[in-house]
């Protein structure tokens, strides 16, 4: 029933009625949503009244309400619980949705009305004025000022690009599933915990491989099991499987798709008056220009590479000889233990997932923001494993938080946050619904879910996005929840990571799942002492991915190679140019499975470290001002996560701190000073 997609739900906080939605509903609902929005746009442009803020911008904001409601569900499930039918729908509708988007932003009459309001924006103030300015920028960067021939070509490009992006994601996921590593004996899995082994056995059984074990692949290059697997041959198999995704010359090879998309993006950018696609993207972000991004990344690359070389020498001393990329995580943990007496793998019994969630993640949010979380088993998510929590602030319900913790073949790799409902007053939506997705291997029934150190960090990180979505309040949907600049959106999530090891928070959740004993008192000090350990590796692998992304998107159309085999050569040259070509430290992602840049982060993977400048300065502020207090949380809500996209985020930050964020805290944190 398409009404379950189009109409506001009657469930608490407008939680979608997932049980009433079938695959057959999406197509008709999308069609109807597009038709209704086009009719609303026609009503705006056919009006003979003088363009005003109300009859143009507010009407524009209202126009896509029902289509947006459909697409939030569709795209969320496409990432979290897809199948062949949903993938086919996406492939069919991606070009049509791109064309629909163009029908809005390339409409001459609509742009004329928006431009008329923009010219008189001095009459407006606050969020109203900012809405006009942002929409005008959207139209200009989308090509609204181009001539008819250029617009026609732009429409073609947008449809082709969207189709290629959908195809890339589908092929990359299929190849990741296909390359999952099959292990014959439990002895080969030495180093994994009983829970991880049971998860591998269950995954194999689900694939019809009873009696064997299956290690599914993660999104990033260095699989977390590489740090604990004792069998070097298996480590190599796992690493090479990760690296091979999308580049095996089979039906799921993504390289030709990637090159076609890059070439068309470059043509689009030139059509819009930019030298490169990176120029187009950064023009609508806080960075402003590709040069600003490259200058920062290259400033960090040399010291990061230097630190990684020093770390490599220590690892090779521990290994008794040269190490390969699949050895690095394993020997890094050995050196961490010997130098700092910190074995991250040994800490897992203190990181039981439910305890981390309730007594860590939720606890910190309660202290800072007055939030409480009540699980609602009566409310159904989109998958049986999804848990639904009602969120209240100072006793008043403000929304729902959905948690989808476990990995499955129907879910893409990595971790992310989505919004189903965003709080805004224009459409009468006072509360928000957000979901966090992770990819933790699910243990066998009866086994506890014990998280790795990195998974705990990821849970805190993604919950930072969730807090942003839950606490932001805006008048207009355009500014609701996490609708901020792409190179700003990671900042709140990074800040929330700090509470993972905050003494008061750690002591509250890090309790041994069997004995009830708290985590050893000296562990926090050891973790803090080892904070910059292996940071040369971590920074180098991240910068490598960011620079690969930037280098591709700095090219003109004629500069993009045509041969799939040239992809690896291009990456190697881009990294060698900045000294990040150490074969033992591979890029966090490579082009053939770099889903970020063939999705929402095209030419914007730099965003994480760009945002970290603000994050590091904010962490320093919390430490200087008493840490986990309600007063500090209120200030942070007022100037950062509570404002959504309603004002320039850097202006708000400078107002709060009395100055822009300096880079020094970031350099110190990453050991690059």
The widest CA-to-CA distance across the chain, in whole angstroms, is 81
∠ CA 556-559-562, rounded to 5°: 125
CA distances from 670 to 50, 620, 667 (A): 55, 14, 5
Please write the tens of the pLDDT for every residue from 410-422: 999 889 999 999 9
Q: Has domain 351-514+636-670 been given CATH number 3.30.360.10?
A: no
**Residue 591: band (very low, low, confident or very high) from pLDDT cuts 50, 70, 90:** very high
H/E segment holding residue 664: helix 664-669
**Tokens 């939605």, located at residue:** 21
Please write the tens of the pLDDT for every residue from 108-155: 999 999 999 999 999 999 999 999 999 999 999 999 999 999 999 999
* pLDDT at residue 444, rounded to an integer: 87
The pLDDT of residue 281 is above 90: yes
The pLDDT of residue 1 is above 90: no
**Residue 567: band (very low, low, confident or very high) from pLDDT cuts 50, 70, 90:** very high
Q: Which of 171, 269, 279 is nearest to 594 (CA)?
A: 171
The pLDDT of residue 599 is above 90: no
Q: How far apart are CA 609 and CA 587, in angstroms?
A: 15
E strands along 376-493, which residues?
387-393, 396-406, 416-421, 432-440
Cβ neighbour number for residue 578 with a 10 Å cutoff? 19
Q: How far apart are CA 292 and CA 546, in angstroms?
A: 13
Catalytic residues, by residue number, are 462
**Tokens 């992006």, located at residue:** 165
By CB neighbour count within 10 A (0-12 exposed, 13-18 middle, 19+ buried), where does 10 fall?
Answer: exposed
Q: How far apart are CA 25 and CA 407, in angstroms?
A: 26
**Tokens 């220590």, located at residue:** 314
pTM of the entire structure?
0.94
Radius of gyration of the chain (CA): 25
Please write the tens of the pLDDT for every residue from 214-226: 999 988 999 999 9
Q: How far apart are CA 476 and CA 527, in angstroms?
A: 43
Tokens describing residue 647: 């004002």
Q: Which of 60, 7, 77, 152 is nearest to 412 (CA)?
A: 77
Please write the tens of the pLDDT for every residue from 47-87: 999 999 999 999 999 999 999 999 999 999 999 999 999 99
Please write the tens of the pLDDT for every residue from 625-642: 999 999 999 999 999 999
Q: How far apart are CA 416 and CA 198, in angstroms?
A: 25
* pLDDT at residue 570, rounded to an integer: 98
Question: What pairing do the DSSP bridges indicate for beta strands 396-406 and 432-440?
Answer: parallel
By CB neighbour count within 10 A (0-12 exposed, 13-18 middle, 19+ buried), where does 306 fall?
Answer: middle
Give the three-class secondary structure for 202: helix
Q: How far apart are CA 583 and CA 493, in angstroms?
A: 31
> Which stretch of 292-306, 335-349, 356-370, 497-511 has the lowest confidence by average pLDDT?
335-349
Q: What integer is the mean pLDDT of 239-249?
A: 98
**Residue 521: band (very low, low, confident or very high) from pLDDT cuts 50, 70, 90:** confident
Is 621 within 8 Å of 633 (Cβ atoms)?
no
**HSE of 500, CA atoms in CB hemisphere, 13 A:** 24
Q: Alpha carbon 418 to chain centroid distance? A: 9
H/E segment holding residue 534: none
Q: Which of 379, 453, 459 is nearest to 420 (CA)?
A: 379
Q: What integer is the mean pLDDT of 369-394?
A: 98
Is 498 within 8 Å of 619 (Cβ atoms)?
yes
The pLDDT of residue 25 is above 90: yes
H/E segment holding residue 511: none
The pLDDT of residue 600 is above 90: no
Please write the tens of the pLDDT for every residue from 462-510: 999 999 999 999 999 999 999 999 999 999 999 999 999 999 999 999 9
Q: How far apart are CA 468 and CA 473, in angstroms?
A: 10
The pLDDT of residue 528 is above 90: no
Q: How far apart are CA 545 and CA 497, in angstroms?
A: 22
For the chain, the structural domain boundaries read 2-145, 164-176+250-273+290-342+533-603, 181-244, 351-514+636-670
Interacting residues of 492 by C-beta distance below 8 A, sequence separation 6+: 464, 465, 467, 468, 640, 641
* pLDDT at residue 79, rounded to an integer: 95
Q: Which of 299, 294, 274 is nearest to 284 (CA)?
A: 274
Q: How far apart are CA 19 and CA 134, in angstroms?
A: 37
H/E segment holding residue 38: helix 23-45
**Residue 284: band (very low, low, confident or very high) from pLDDT cuts 50, 70, 90:** very high
pLDDT-above-70 percentage for the chain: 100
For residue 560, give the DSSP letter. Answer: S
Q: What integer is the mean pLDDT of 602-608?
A: 97
Q: Has domain 2-145 been given CATH number 1.20.1050.40?
A: yes
């Amino acid at each position: 029933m398409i009404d379950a997609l189009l109409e506001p739900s009657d469930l608490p906080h407008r939680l979608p009625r997932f049980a009433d939605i079938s695959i057959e509903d999406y197509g008709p609902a999308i069609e109807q949503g597009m038709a209704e929005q086009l009719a609303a746009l026609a009503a705006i442009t056919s009006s003979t009244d003088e363009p005003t803020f109300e009859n143009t911008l507010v009407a524009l904001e209202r126009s896509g309400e029902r289509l947006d409601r459909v697409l939030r569900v569709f795209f969320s499930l496409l990432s979290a619980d897809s199948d062949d039918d949903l993938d086919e729908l996406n492939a069919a509708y991606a070009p049509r949705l791109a064309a629909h988007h163009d029908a809005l932003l390339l409409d001459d009459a609509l742009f004329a009305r928006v431009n008329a309001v923009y010219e008189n924006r001095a009459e407006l103030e606050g969020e109203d004025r900012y809405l006009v300015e942002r929409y005008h920028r959207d139209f200009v960067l989308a090509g609204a000022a181009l001539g008819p021939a250029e617009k026609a070509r732009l429409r073609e490009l947008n449809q082709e690009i969207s189709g290629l992006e959908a195809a890339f994601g589908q092929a990359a996921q299929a190849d990741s599933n296909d390359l999952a590593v099959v292990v014959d004996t439990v002895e080969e899995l030495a180093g994994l915990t009983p829970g991880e082994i049971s998860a591998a056995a269950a995954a194999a059984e689900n694939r019809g491989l009873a009696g064997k074990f299956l290690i599914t692949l993660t999104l990033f290059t260095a699989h977390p099991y590489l740090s604990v697997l004792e069998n070097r041959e298996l480590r190599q198999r796992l690493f090479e499987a990760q690296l091979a995704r999308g580049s095996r010359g089979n039906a799921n090879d993504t390289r030709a798709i990637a090159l076609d998309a890059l070439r068309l993006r470059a043509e689009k950018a030139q059509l819009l008056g930019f030298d490169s696609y990176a120029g187009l993207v950064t023009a609508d972000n806080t960075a402003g220009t590709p040069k600003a991004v490259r200058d920062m990344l290259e400033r960090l690359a040399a010291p990061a590479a230097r630190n990684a070389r020093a770390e490599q020498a220590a690892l090779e001393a521990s290994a008794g000889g040269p190490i390969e990329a699949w050895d690095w995580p394993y020997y890094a943990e050995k050196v961490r233990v010997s130098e700092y007496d910190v074995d991250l793998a040994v800490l897992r019994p203190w990181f039981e997932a439910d305890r981390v969630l309730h007594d860590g993640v939720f606890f910190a949010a309660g202290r800072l923001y007055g939030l409480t979380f009540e699980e609602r088993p009566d409310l159904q998510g989109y998958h049986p494993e999804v848990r639904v929590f009602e969120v209240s602030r100072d006793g008043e319900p403000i929304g729902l938080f959905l948690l989808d913790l476990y990995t499955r073949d129907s879910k893409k790799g990595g971790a992310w946050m989505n919004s189903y409902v965003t709080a805004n007053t224009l459409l009468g939506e006072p509360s928000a619904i957000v979901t966090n997705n992770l990819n933790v291997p699910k243990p066998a029934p009866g086994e506890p879910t014990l998280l790795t150190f990195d998974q705990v960090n990821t849970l805190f990180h993604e919950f930072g996005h969730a807090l942003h979505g839950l606490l932001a309040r805006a008048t207009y949907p355009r500014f609701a929840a996490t609708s901020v600049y792409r190179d700003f959106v990671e900042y709140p999530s990074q800040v929330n990571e700090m509470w993972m090891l905050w003494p008061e928070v750690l002591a509250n959740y890090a309790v041994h799942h069997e004995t009830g004993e708290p985590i050893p008192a000296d562990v926090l000090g050891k973790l803090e002492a080892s904070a910059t350990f292996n940071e040369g590796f971590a920074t180098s692998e991240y910068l490598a991915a960011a620079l690969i992304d930037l280098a591709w998107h700095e090219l003109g159309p004629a500069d993009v190679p045509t041969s799939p085999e040239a992809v690896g050569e291009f990456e190697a040259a881009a990294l060698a140019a900045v000294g990040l070509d150490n074969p033992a430290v591979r890029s966090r992602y490579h082009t053939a499975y770099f889903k970020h840049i063939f999705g929402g982060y095209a030419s914007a993977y730099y965003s994480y470290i760009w945002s970290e400048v603000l994050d590091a300065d904010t962490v320093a502020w919390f430490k200087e001002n008493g840490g986990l207090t309600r007063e500090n949380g209120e200030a942070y809500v007022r100037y950062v996560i509570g404002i959504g996209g309603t004002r320039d985020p850097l202006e708000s930050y400078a107002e709060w701190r009395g100055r822009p964020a300096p880079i020094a805290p970031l350099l110190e944190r990453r050991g690059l000073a």
